[in-house]
Structure 1
Amino acid sequence: MQRFFVEPGQVDEAAGQILICGDDVNHIRNVLRMREGEELWISAGGEKEYYCSIQSLSPEQIELKIYYISRPDYELPTRLYLFQGIPKGDKMDLIVQKAVELGAYSIIPVEMKRCVVRLDAKKAQKKQQRWQQIAEGGAKQSRRMIVPKVEPVMSFKEALDFAGQMDLCLIPYENAKGMEETRQILSQVKPGMSVGIFIGPEGGLEKEEVQLAMEHGARQITLGHRILRTETAGMAILSVLMFQLEER
């Protein structure tokens, strides 16, 4: 069943009504060709989701009737922030999509020393808009209650300052110690926490970046004996944390 996101102000629980406007109107009417009486799920970015049917359609808005409201626990109990070194080509598209599916709360594109791609302000803004659209598509597909935010492109120092607000910061690194220490660090991730995860671009993080991150409180972890591609590393640690947190 189709899922859409609206702003809280578009929901009138007392009247049992939701109004959809903007780009979703065209998508529902002309792409999906949905009609009156068809049913769909709506999320307003909180803990509730609304099971609705289409009451009326116009070029400007779509009126929905709320059948019932539920409070599913689709979201992870911990906010996971993926700080991703900007990779080449369209790899970031895939990273954003899969990070959203795996429960990331936010994705932060980061310019690191080994990044081949360098974006000026105009290109960075355009890329961010595209990545945000991909995040919304991934959220709809995976039944997220929120659309994870893709932050503006940050420098490495800006990213460290941003991560300084978080309860724990992880940095997978090929020279990190064994799996037992990594297990101990990951066991510290509890519901209610905020956790930053730093992933380098192609070629990985430079030693100076790792050292600087550790000076800011980051903890080194290992992802095993194999060297993972940049588009794989973030997915690996997100998968581990998702499984660990879902069990709790």
Structure 2
Amino acid sequence: MARFFTKPDPADLQAGRITITGPDVNHITNVLRASKGDRLVLCDGAGTDYDVVIDEISRDRIVAVISNTGPSMTEPPVAITLFQGIPKADKMEYVIQKCVEIGVTRIVPVITSRSVVKFGSARDAEAKTARWNRIALEAAKQCDRGIVPEVAGPVKFDEALRLAEGHGLKLFPYEEEKEGSFTKVLQDHRAAMAGGEHGRTAGQKVAILIGPEGGFDPDEAEKAAASGFIPVTLGPRILRTETAGLVVASIVMYELGDMGDPVKIRNSGSADKQPGK
């Protein structure tokens, strides 16, 4: 079923309907060729889905009646924040798109000592961040996310470490690390959660720290470890910066999240069912 993100008006919700405006109107009417009586899924971007039936269509808006409301069934139980050292060219856009598909909750671009990309002004950083968030939105639409993952504005390395506080598991894939087993770290974390050693919320929050091309310098690596990031090896091969975060996030999602689990399906109700009737 076609899925779109929208911010429902509280008054509309009280009346059991949602009004769609903006570019999605054209997509629904002219691309999908939808008509009155067709069903859609609308998501508020914060984890709530609305199954709706189109009731009115005009040139600039669509009014749909809510048939069912419930939590999104596509969001994982683990919240991953990727702290990504900003790579060159358009690699950051690739990382954002693919991480949203995998299920990452938040992406924080990090400026490190070896970062090649520099922002000439605050306005440049804001423009780039706006573009990154548009990419996240489009990826969220395409892969049926229940939220639109946030791409934060670029931060310096020390600020990234501060933002990572409060995560129950902090992973630091490091090319100089030869013994820290990624597999064992995940196994130990899962066992600790099962034993109640982590608070439920903190235990479900995972931070991943990835360096740019050239990696982190030794001082940054020491700071990361001192702040609670666990250095791990990803094996005998060196992964590119745009690959490493995707690999780590995928493995975490498989081991601690819902990747590979049976698909959960929420009862969408009947097409003619309306709230209060």
TM over 0.5: yes
In the aligned structure 1, how far is the partner of 2:84 from the partner of 2:76? 20
Checking the alignment, whether the CA contact within 8 Å between 1:10 and 1:19 is kept in structure 2 is no
Q: Distance in 2 between matches of 1:10 and 1:154?
A: 35
Corresponding residue of 2:4: 4
Q: Secondary structure at the match of 1:195?
A: strand
Identical amino acids, percent of aligned pairs: 42
Equivalence for 2:224: 213
Greater CA deviation, 113-122 or 99-108? 113-122
Code of the residue aligned with 1:173 in structure 2: it is Y
CA–CA distance in structure 1, aligned partners of residues 46 and 133 of structure 2:
19
- Give the conservation status (yes or no) of the 8 Å contact 2:81–2:105: yes
The whole-number CA distance in structure 1 between the counterparts of 2:20 and 2:72 is: 22
**Which segment drifts farther, 94-103 or 170-179?**
170-179
- Tell me the distance in 1 between the aligned counterparts of 2:37 and 2:10: 19
- State yes or no: 1:199 paired with 2:210: yes
Q: Distance in 2 between matches of 1:163 and 1:200?
A: 15
The worse-fitting range, judged by mean Cα deviation, of 130-139 and 42-51 is 42-51
What stretches of structure 2 of length at least 5 have no aligned partner? 194-199, 262-277
User: Which stretches in structure 1 are left out of the alignment for 5+ residues?
Assistant: none
1:109 counterpart SS class? strand
| Cα shift at 1:199 | 0.7
Residue matched to 2:184: 184
**What corresponds to 1:128 in structure 2?**
129
The aligned amino acid for 1:228 is: L
Does the CA-based 8 Å contact 1:105-1:148 persist in structure 2? yes
Deviations 1:148-178 (A, max 9, x none): 0011111111111111232222110012233
Q: Distance in 2 between matches of 1:138 and 1:87?
A: 20
Q: Post-superposition shift, 1:144?
A: 0.9
Aligned pair partner of 2:243 in 232, 238, 241: 232
Q: Distance in 2 between matches of 1:116 and 1:33?
A: 46
The within-5 A match list for 1:46-85 is 46-85=46-85
Question: What corresponds to 1:39 in structure 2?
Answer: 39
Deviates more, 1:34-43 or 1:122-131: 34-43
Distance 1:158 1:30, change over 3 A: farther
TM-score by length of 2: 0.81
* 2:158 alignment counterpart: 157
The secondary structure found in structure 1 opposite 2:216 is coil
CA deviations 1:112-169 (Å, max 9, x no partner) are 1111110131121111111111111111111111000011111111111111232222
> 1:117–1:33: structure 2 CA closer, same or farther, 3 Å change rule?
farther
CA RMSD of aligned residues (A): 2.2
Contact 1:110/1:156, CA 8 A, preserved across alignment: yes
Q: For 1:11 and 1:70, how far apart are their aligned partners in 2? A: 18
User: How many residue pairs are counted as aligned between the two chains?
Assistant: 247
Q: Is 2:176 the partner of 1:175?
A: yes
CA-CA distance at 1:37 after TM superposition: 3.2
Deviation of 1:26 after TM superposition, in Å, equals 4.3
Kept in 1: contact 2:40–2:53 (CA 8 A) = yes
Structure number with greater Rg is 2
